Structure 1
């Protein structure tokens, strides 16, 4: 049976890049601070959701990917490129 996971068994392609770009932002915001920025951008994610995205444990919808890319100031493609 086919499972929607990366070859490494993760539930998303963007988690590693989200962490990388978050840490590259001025002040290197925490996961909680990123969650706060996402909430300001009308995306209801908390610190635990950000942590699960970055670790690859959580699926990411296209709506979430768009908001995350906007807050991080990068393109969708940059979040998906390996």
Structure 2
């Protein structure tokens, strides 16, 4: 299995997810629990790795996170910044 170097990013939206989560006043654990209620099982550690760009994120996770945090997909992908 290939090791990931510190400089390698595995997603482009982790930082935006972190900002949206903090703006929603949720901890990583609280976000994880809300995702679980939607049958999306992403532990707190995985959320941390996603936010730090150290883990890839699935389209199902992106969709669920946008719903829990009440932000648009465009916002998560930075399209509303253009």
TM-score, with length taken from structure 2: 0.82
Q: How many residues align?
A: 73
Give the 3-state SS of the residue equivalent to 1:77 in structure 2: helix
Q: Distance in 2 between matches of 1:60 and 1:41?
A: 16
Deviation at 1:75, TM superposition (A): 1.1
2:22 alignment counterpart: 23
Residue 47 of structure 1, aligned match among 44, 48, 51: 44
Show structure 1 runs of 4+ deviating over 4 A: none
- Aligned-residue Cα RMSD (Å) equals 1.3
Deviation at 1:9, TM superposition (A): 2.9
Any stretches of 5+ residues in structure 1 without a counterpart?
Answer: 1-7
